[in-house]
Amino acid sequence: MQMSLISGTNKELIGSPFIKEILIMPISSITSTNAHAAIRDSNKEMNIASDKVARNSRNLSPSEEQILNGMKAAASGTRVTLRNLSDATSMLQTMKGELEEVGAIIVKMDDLALQAANDTFSAEEKAAQTKEFNKLGEQLESIFEKSNYRNEKILSEDGLLSREAGLKFQTGTGKDDQLKLNLKEAVKALRDLIKAGDSDALKSLDLAAADVPAKAIDILSKARQQLGNIRAELSVNINLLGHITNSVNNTLKSNTDSQSNLTAINLAEEMENFHNAMQNNDLSLKMLAKKQEAQQSLVRSVLN
C-alpha cells in the first residue's frame, strides 16, 4: 500500500491561506525572472529596430557625428551661395531686360531718322517724324533715370552700373569666390550719347532741320554699338553664373548624398532584427505562460 507523503495534519497546514502565499511566491519569482528579463530584452530590441526604421538613420559614433556636422555646415554655406547666385542672376537679367527695351527704342528712332533724311517727305510729315522721335528720346531718358532693381537705380549716374568699383557677386563660400563686373565707363558712354546736353539730346533734335537726320543716324549707330557691347557683357556673365549654379547644385547634391550614405540604415537588416525581436518576445511570453501553468499545476497537486 502506497503511503501518503503528506499527513492530514500537514495537508491542513499547507491548505491554510498563509502557507499557500508562502509556497506560491518563491516559485513564481524564481520561475518567471528569466522569462521577464527575456521579454524586456526583446522589447528593447524591437524599440531600437523600429526607431531606426522610423528615422531611417542609425546611431553614429562620435567621429561619424563630427564628420556629419562638418557636412551639414558645408551644406548650409552652399545653400547660401545658391541664393546669392540666384539673386545675382536675377539682377543681371533685369538689367539686360531694361537694355533690351533701350535697344528697341533706338531701332525705332533710327528708322525715323532714316526716313527724315529722305527729302521725299513733306514739312508736315517731317514735323510728325520729329515729334515721334523726340517722344522716343524722352522714353529713353526715362528708362535711364527710373529703371531699378529692388529700388536701386540701374542706369542712372548714381545707379548700380555706375558704381566706381563695379559690382561683386559672391559665387562660393571662400573670400575670393567672387565674380566682378564693371560697366561704369560703357554705361556712361551710352548715357552721354543719349543725353548729350539739352541742345544735342536726342529728345531735342529737329529732324526737319538740315543735316540733323544724318547727325541722329550717327549718334544712334554709336549708341547701338555701345549698347551691344554692354548687353554682350551681361549675357556672358549671366551664362557664367548659370554654369557656376549648376556646379554648386552638384556639390550640394553630393553633400546630401554623402550625409544620407553616412546615416542610412540597412532596411532589410533592421526589419529582420525587428522580426527576430518579435519572435523572441512571443517565445518569451509563451515560456512564461507555460511556467506559470506548471507552477499552478504543482500547487494544485500539493494542495490536493
* pLDDT value, residue 5: 44
* pLDDT value, residue 46: 59
pLDDT tens-digit profile of 207-261?
999 899 999 999 999 999 999 999 999 999 999 999 999 999 999 999 888 887 7
Same-domain status, 13 and 26: yes
Answer whether residue 95 is part of any domain.
yes
Same-domain status, 36 and 81: no
- Check which CATH number belongs to the domain holding 105 and give it: 1.20.1330.10
Same-domain status, 84 and 191: yes
Same-domain status, 46 and 70: no
Same-domain status, 146 and 259: yes
Answer whether residue 239 is part of any domain.
yes
Answer whether residue 271 is part of any domain.
no
Same-domain status, 40 and 91: no
* pLDDT value, residue 2: 44
* pLDDT value, residue 29: 53
Answer whether residue 80 is part of any domain.
yes
Residue 159 near residue 150, CB atoms below 8 Å? no
Q: What is the DSSP letter of 4?
A: P
Question: Is this prediction's pTM over 0.85?
Answer: no
Answer whether residue 275 is part of any domain.
no
Answer whether residue 3 is part of any domain.
no
CA–CA dist 19, 182 (Å, integer): 101
Helices 123-146 + 184-194 axis angle, to 10: 150
Helices 62-116 + 123-146 axis angle, to 10: 160
Q: Which residue has the cell 512564461?
A: 288
* pLDDT value, residue 56: 52
Same-domain status, 44 and 128: no
Same-domain status, 130 and 150: yes
* pLDDT value, residue 90: 97
> Which residue range is the domain that position 228 belongs to?
62-263
Answer whether residue 221 is part of any domain.
yes
Same-domain status, 29 and 106: no
Residue 181's beta-bridge partner residues? 167
Same-domain status, 44 and 75: no
Flag residues of the chain having pLDDT under 50.
1-7, 9, 13-14, 18, 26-27, 30, 266
Answer whether residue 227 is part of any domain.
yes
Same-domain status, 254 and 296: no
Residue 92: CB partners within 8 Å, gap ≥ 6? 181, 234, 237, 238, 241
Number of domains in the chain: 2
Same-domain status, 168 and 197: yes
pLDDT tens-digit profile of 56-70?
556 667 888 888 889
Distances (CA, A) of 124 to 166, 207, 259, 274: 47, 11, 76, 94
DSSP string, 75-109: HHHHHHHHHHHHHHHHHHHHHHHHHHHHHHHHHHH
